[in-house]
């Protein structure tokens, strides 16, 4: 314990952030890596609480105090193993979890007037050290089982489930409609938050662990859901949510108004070296344009910061509430402001105008009215408050809803909630259809990577229990 409790003498430090003028010119991750001594020093600030609120508030219940102590003692391999015991993608969570709302936001030393322990940066440091030293090896199960599991979707929920099932020896196949695996980690979240090499390295590990990944394979198109169910002993639906909410504003049919995922996917594909027609012909390239992004969540922040890096002439973010009420992470808003994004708070588009292509947005100013049932103040338009914003490219980032899975999968019996998410038993994540489970955003609605991992792990447990039960029945019957 002597190495710990240094928070009284040592100030909180985070890894150095690249200067905004430099980072605007590239898509590289903006935070530098902790150096060895800094990670150990910062880890030693932890007070090793009896009831660690950091762990309690982590969706994976990561054993944070233990791996901080091991890091402070220089036992990095042990620290990595403790961290990886609960988290399938610690390198991803270390980079893009909103720690300010989860572990770090609940670290008790903050309440005693000292800055929180820098948990996320230490998590990233120990995992990257583990990769660099070859401590992360493909999964080799103790026994190979004959049962197979089909997973639809290769995002964090599908990846976490696949890894857990493979550890137990199941034969796992992941199907994804995209040409690369990783879900939103590969085509949603931009490089400057999470470098693609981090995702590709993890996908290679899955393949080296003999997890089969079949790409360009859309369930409901390339095969029916029924066929998949017949092929596998259990199926997991981890398809995420992709139906973009749209703005119903006059003029929204004009050209150069796009949903956020079109813009981000094109940019991510370009960064991966693909030829992207809509980028090459200029429609999904912000260069030299006045860009207006509508929305206030993390997706909107990723769009504005991508537009800055594509050398837009100006980038504005329209949000109908104020800064305090933004749903996006405060850290990302600050990063965007530093990079020159103009925030137009309390504003909503009233009309898009232009000759075939959008040329300007007439905006309505808003005020915050009475609180609704959720406690949030409802934005109300202020009459006669119109303003004009020049716009050559408008990006809608208003959130996502589930696609109609029962219809797409031709499985009308699959039960969904009134929000269109798949209904599951919250403990086992099984659906109402025998042998079919669901996890991640398609169950929760648009959420976070860390919750998708948690669901993937829970679903793997549910699937394993289900397959074990069937086996026991077979043995008893024989």
Q: Which residues bind ligand SF4 (CB under 6 A)?
A: 46-49, 52-54, 64-65, 107-109, 117, 119
Angle (CA) 397-273-257 rounded to 5° is: 25
Question: Which segment (46-54, 215-223, 279-287, 343-351) binds ligand FAD by CB under 6 A?
Answer: 215-223
Which one of ligand SF4, ligand FAD, none interacts with residue 342, CB within 5 to 8 A by kind? Answer: none
Nearest distance from C-beta of residue 45 to ligand SF4, angstroms: 7
Q: What is the pattern of x (binds ligand FAD, CB under 6 A) and - over residues 79-108?
A: -----------------xx-----------
Q: Is residue 152 part of the contact set for ligand FAD (CB under 6 A)?
A: yes
Which one of ligand SF4, ligand FAD, none interacts with residue 239, CB within 5 to 8 A by kind? Answer: ligand FAD
Partners of 438 in beta bridges: 237
Q: Could you tell me if 265 and 367 are in contact, meaning their C-beta atoms sit under 8 angstroms apart? A: no
Nearest distance from C-beta of residue 77 to ligand FAD, angstroms: 27
The count of residues in the chain is 478
**CB-based contacts of 473, cutoff 8 Å, min separation 6:** none
Closer to ligand FAD at the Cβ: 44 or 106? Answer: 106
Q: Exactly one of 59, 120, 153, 349 binds ligand FAD (CB under 6 A); which one?
A: 153
Tokens 């990723």 correspond to what residue?
Answer: 302
Nearest distance from C-beta of residue 331 to ligand SF4, angstroms: 18
Angle (CA) 264-406-245 rounded to 5° is: 35
Tokens 């040592």 correspond to what residue?
Answer: 10
Which one of ligand FAD, ligand SF4, none interacts with residue 164, CB within 5 to 8 A by kind? Answer: none
Nearest distance from C-beta of residue 15 to ligand SF4, angstroms: 17
Q: Could you tell me if 64 and 54 are in contact, meaning their C-beta atoms sit under 8 angstroms apart? A: yes
**CB-based contacts of 423, cutoff 8 Å, min separation 6:** 415, 416, 417, 431, 432
Closer to ligand FAD at the Cβ: 164 or 302? Answer: 302
Beta strands in 19-153 (DSSP E): 148-152
Nearest distance from C-beta of residue 107 to ligand SF4, angstroms: 3
Question: Which segment (57-65, 152-160, 306-314, 355-363) binds ligand FAD by CB under 6 A?
Answer: 152-160
Which one of ligand SF4, ligand FAD, none interacts with residue 292, CB within 5 to 8 A by kind? Answer: none
Q: Kindly compute the dihedral angle of the four CA atoms of residues 379, 329, 268, 151, in this order, to the nearest 10 degrees.
A: -100
Q: Is residue 158 part of the contact set for ligand FAD (CB under 6 A)?
A: yes
**CB-based contacts of 27, cutoff 8 Å, min separation 6:** 190, 191, 192, 271, 309
Q: Is residue 124 part of the contact set for ligand FAD (CB under 6 A)?
A: no
Q: Residue 318 carries which DSSP code? A: E
Q: Residue 240 carries which DSSP code? A: -
Q: Is residue 63 part of the contact set for ligand FAD (CB under 6 A)?
A: no
Pairing of strands 314-318, 342-344: parallel
Q: Kindly compute the dihedral angle of the four CA atoms of residues 151, 153, 154, 160, in this order, to the nearest 10 degrees.
A: -60
Residues 164-203 that bind ligand FAD (CB under 6 A): 175-178, 183-184, 188-189, 193
Question: What are the Cα distances from residue 334, in Å, to 27, 145, 312, 428?
Answer: 17, 50, 19, 39
Q: Is residue 223 part of the contact set for ligand FAD (CB under 6 A)?
A: no
Q: Is residue 218 part of the contact set for ligand FAD (CB under 6 A)?
A: yes
Which one of ligand FAD, ligand SF4, none interacts with residue 158, CB within 5 to 8 A by kind? Answer: ligand FAD
Residues 441-470 that bind ligand FAD (CB under 6 A): 441, 447-450, 452
Which one of ligand SF4, ligand FAD, none interacts with residue 423, CB within 5 to 8 A by kind? Answer: none
Nearest distance from C-beta of residue 476 to ligand FAD, angstroms: 36
Characterise 259 by phi-psi region: left (phi > 0), alpha (psi -120 to 50), beta (else): beta
| Residues making contact with ligand FAD (CB under 6 A) | 96-97, 152-158, 175-178, 183-184, 188-189, 193, 218-220, 238-240, 264, 298-299, 302, 440-441, 447-450, 452
């Amino acid at each position: 314990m002597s190495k710990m409790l240094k928070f009284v003498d040592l100030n909180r430090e985070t890894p150095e952030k690249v200067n905004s003028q430099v980072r605007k010119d590239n898509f590289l991750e903006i935070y530098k890596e902790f150096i060895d001594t800094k990670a150990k020093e910062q880890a030693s600030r932890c007070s090793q609480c009896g009831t660690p609120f950091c762990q309690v508030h982590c969706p994976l219940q990561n054993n944070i105090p233990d791996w901080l102590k091991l890091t402070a003692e220089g036992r990095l391999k042990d620290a990595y193993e403790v961290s990886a015991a609960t988290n399938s993608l610690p390198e991803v969570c270390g980079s893009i979890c909103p720690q300010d709302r989860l572990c770090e936001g609940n670290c008790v030393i903050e309440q005693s007037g000292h800055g929180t322990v820098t948990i996320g940066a230490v998590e990233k440091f120990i995992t990257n050290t583990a990769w660099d030293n070859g401590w992360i090896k493909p999964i080799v199960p103790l026994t190979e089982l004959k049962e197979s599991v089909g997973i639809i979707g290769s995002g964090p929920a599908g990846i976490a489930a696949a890894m857990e099932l493979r550890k137990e020896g199941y034969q796992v196949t992941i199907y994804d409609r995209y040409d690369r695996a990783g879900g939103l980690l590969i085509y949603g979240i931009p490089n400057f938050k999470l470098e693609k090499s981090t995702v590709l390295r993890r996908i290679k590990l899955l393949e080296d662990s003999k997890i089969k990944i079949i790409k360009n394979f859309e369930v409901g198109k390339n095969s029916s859901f029924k066929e998949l169910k017949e092929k596998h002993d259990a199926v997991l639906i981890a398809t995420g949510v992709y139906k973009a909410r749209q703005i119903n504003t006059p003029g929204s049919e004009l050209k150069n108004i796009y949903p956020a995922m079109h813009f981000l996917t094109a940019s991510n594909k370009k960064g991966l070296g693909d030829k992207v027609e809509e980028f090459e012909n200029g429609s999904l390239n912000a260069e030299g344009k006045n860009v207006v992004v509508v929305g206030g969540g993390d997706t909107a922040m990723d769009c504005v910061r991508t537009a800055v890096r594509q050398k837009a002439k100006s980038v504005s973010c329209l949000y109908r509430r104020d800064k305090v009420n933004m749903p996006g992470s405060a850290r990302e808003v600050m990063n965007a402001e530093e990079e020159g994004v103009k925030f137009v708070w309390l504003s909503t588009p009233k009309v898009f105008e232009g000759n075939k292509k959008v040329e300007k947005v007439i905006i309505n100013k808003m005020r915050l009215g009475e609180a609704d049932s959720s406690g949030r103040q409802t934005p109300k338009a202020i009459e006669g408050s119109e303003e004009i914003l020049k716009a050559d490219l408008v990006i809608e980032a208003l959130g996502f809803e589930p696609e109609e899975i029962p219809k797409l999968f031709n499985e009308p019996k699959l039960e969904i909630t009134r929000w269109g998410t798949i209904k599951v038993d919250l403990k086992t994540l099984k659906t109402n259809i025998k042998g079919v489970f669901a996890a991640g955003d398609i169950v929760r609605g648009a959420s976070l990577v860390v919750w998708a991992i948690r669901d993937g792990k829970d679903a793997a447990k549910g699937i394993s229990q289900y397959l074990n039960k069937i086996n026991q029945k077979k043995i008893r019957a024989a």
